[in-house]
Amino acid sequence: MARGSRSLTNKWRYCHPLYYLKRPKRLALLFIVFVCATLVVWDRQTLVREYEVEVNKLQEEVAHLQNLMEELNNAEGGTDKKIDIRRKTKFSNKEVQDDPIDIQRREKVKEAMLHAWRSYETYAWGQDELQPQSKNGVDSFGGLGATLVDSLDTLYIMGLNEQFQKAREWVANSLDFNKDYEASVFETTIRVVGGLLSAYDLSGDKVFLEKARDIADRLLPAWNTPSGIPYNIINLAHGHPHNPSWTGGESILADSGTEQLEFIVLSQRTGDPSYQQKVEYVIKQLNKTFPDDGLLPIYIDPNSGSTGYSPITFGAMGDSFYEYLLKVWIHGNKTSAVKHYRDMWEKSMKGLLSLIRRSTPSSFAYICEKNGQSLTDKMDELACFAPGMIALGSSGYGPADSQKFMSLAEELAWTCYNFYQSTPTKLAGENYFFHSGQDMSVGTSWNILRPETVESLFYLWRLTGNKTYQEWGWNIFQAFEKNSRVESGYVGLKDVNSGIKDNKMQTFFLAETLKYLYLLFSPPSVIPLDEWVFNTEAHPLRITTRNEGNVENLNDQQKPPLRKRGRKEGRSG
């Protein structure tokens, strides 16, 4: 900037009256005014440009120093490596000049996360969940610090380093899994195992991997059944796996088919094939009799591995089984070693197409539930993960099918957004019914801060670039701020029509809802989808190429050993 200032000073000689002494006075004066005015404008524009260049350089230097500080902080915390959650273009000029509206919105989401986290720190630190209205904590997951563990990667991604380090110290020094508690294998896997593995993949800190292995070892006996289909409940201290009594002893489809991603990653990170072998055997068993339409009833006999007469749904108790067929294929980098997952998923998408109906008069597309040969015109908000899943998987088809499925994803996302827009609070109910001539109406009217719709909006924005999905997400965020934010955190609603509040801040609000909203307003280089895949609790895991001949390729002689000897009311994550 100094060099430019000197060159401008030399040019100001034209503004001195002596320069025009021998010229006609009027001409000289007019010329002086013209030259001086021109130089003032030129000088100002040049200085502004040089200022902007200097500011950009300083911003890049500050960002570089912050990155170095993060590496030093992680090193002091026991980290042996640091994974950059962005591409190497992190500090390019394009990203420095981020969309001001996106910056403002994600800062608002970050502030919401801080409000939720500080409330948890103040009133429920180390406990599973915060009850914001009564300002106390409860151990609804056996005392595993579920909110803390579920929030680790959200804190990391948002750059909340002080909060992340404090949480890391609690995990290292206080997290104890030796609990006399009957744990849901599914919920513990997606929240705790998934949360710890994601924190490890992001930070490289081995304390998270060690803890993930500890809890997984306690869950592993659940797979010791005659068929290899796991029981869905196990005592963390004593073992003794079993199924809930209300299922009649049956295992649940989603609870049995939503551990593959986490346990495969655990085997890859530890080099121990036992975790992967247990969960992949489940898929092998189901694939032997997998129907042409790829749709399975929600109950499975853990003794025979057969499915009985029970509902088929992409909502509670079915949903994430179909999600993981796609995501294990993506996580394996779409190689031949994981092609059977993609094949099964494509069959399931054929089945999904058979469940699509459209309402009257507004033609909202929705996914029916099926029982035997009859369809029920009901769709859970939980099934609103499906638009994102379909969009994510659409690129694996040829051009015609790819466009067909992407269009369907967009139609379903519009329906899910209208689940929110159709209520006085602009928050969605738990499920909806569709009646001829009446479009949609709320069935179960509570809202417990679920993430599924904003999850799908995130995927559709990333994959299409259509900013409409950002606008929809922002509207949903504002509805949460208006109706669910209280002095000490966030709560759900007992009724989306009246706005009456409950007294629980669900762990997945921090793990999923706020994370997907933050990423919705972040550049696509933050957790890029060709490098990371999200588990069903929104925990990003690094994509790892699978090859033939690895430990995952089991044969029938490797059946898990016999051990003679979930459930949730709706998928909570």
Can you tell me the distance from the alpha carbon of 183 to that of 189, in angstroms, rounded to the nearest whole number?
10
Does 69 have pLDDT greater than 60? Answer: no
Q: Catalytic one among 255, 430, 439, 552?
A: 430
18-32, 306-320, 536-550: range with highest mean pLDDT: 306-320
The answer to whether 452 is a known catalytic residue is yes
- In 431-530, which ranges are continuous DSSP H helix? 452-464, 468-483, 507-508, 514-520
What pLDDT shows up at residue 3?
37
Mean of pLDDT over the chain: 86
Q: Give me the mean pLDDT over the 47-67 stretch.
A: 47
Active-site residue identified among 187, 280, 346, 537: 187
SS3 545: coil
- Cα 507 to Cα 171: distance, rounded to the nearest angstrom: 16
Look at residue 88 in the predicted model and tell me its pLDDT.
43
Identify the pLDDT of residue 547: 87
Mean pLDDT along residues 559-568:
30
Contact 278, 263 (CB under 8 A): yes
384 vs 457: CA distance, rounded Å? 10
What does the pLDDT read at residue 355? 98
Q: Which of 150, 153, 452, 455 is catalytic?
A: 452
Q: Look at the chain and count its residues.
A: 573
Whether the pTM exceeds 0.95: the reply is: no
Number of CB atoms found within 10 A of residue 8's CB: 13
Task: Specify the amino acid at residue 176.
Answer: D
What mean pLDDT do residues 279-308 have? 96
Which helix (H) or strand (E) element contains residue 542?
A: strand 540-542
pLDDT at 51: 45
Residue 50 known to be catalytic? no
DSSP H or E stretch at residue 540: strand 540-542
So where are the chain's domains? 104-548
Per-residue pLDDT tens digits for 469-483: 999 999 999 999 999
Name residue, tokens 């109706």: 483
Residue 430 is a catalytic residue: yes
Kindly tell me the number of DSSP H helices and DSSP E strands found in the chain.
20, 18
Q: Please say whether the beta carbons of 263 and 276 come within 8 A.
A: yes
The larger pLDDT score, comparing residue 571 to residue 388, is at 388
Hey, CA dihedral for 262, 265, 266, 267, is it positive or negative?
positive
Is the pLDDT at 554 greater than 60, yes or no?
no
| Band of pLDDT at residue 309, cut at 50, 70 and 90 | confident
Signed CA dihedral, 263, 268, 274, 280: sign only: positive
The answer to whether residues 431 and 379 touch, using CB atoms and an 8 Å cutoff, is yes
Q: Flag whether 536 is marked binding.
A: yes
pLDDT band, very low/low/confident/very high, at 97 (cuts 50, 70, 90): low
Which of the four pLDDT bands, split at 50, 70 and 90, describes residue 34? low
Integer Cα distance of 211 and 83 in angstroms = 19
When mean pLDDT is compared across 3-12, 203-212, 227-236, 506-515, the lowest value belongs to 3-12
**What is the rounded CA–CA span in Å between residue 269 and residue 212?**
11
pLDDT reported for residue 48: 41
Question: Cα 135 from chain centroid?
Answer: 27
Residue 74: the pLDDT is 42
Which CATH code, of 3.40.640.10, 1.50.10.10, 1.10.630.10, 3.30.470.10, is assigned to 104-548? 1.50.10.10
Cα dihedral 244→245→247→252 (10° resolution): 10
SS3 at position 242:
strand
Query: What is the model's pLDDT at position 78?
Result: 40
Q: How many CA atoms lie within 13 A of 352 on its CB side?
A: 25
The answer to whether 232 and 243 are in contact (CB under 8 A) is yes
- pLDDT of residue 423 exceeding 80, the answer is yes
Query: Three-state SS for 11?
Result: helix
pLDDT of residue 49: 46
In the predicted model, is pLDDT for residue 56 greater than 50? no
CB 187 within 8 A of CB 569: no
What integer pLDDT is reported at residue 60 of this predicted model?
46
**Cβ contact 216:163 at 8 Å:** no
| Pairing mode of beta strands 182-184, 233-235 | antiparallel
Q: Cα(231)–Cα(243) distance, rounded to whole angstroms?
A: 5
Q: What is the pLDDT of residue 242?
A: 98
Give which of 182, 181, 173 is closest to 148, Cα–Cα: 173
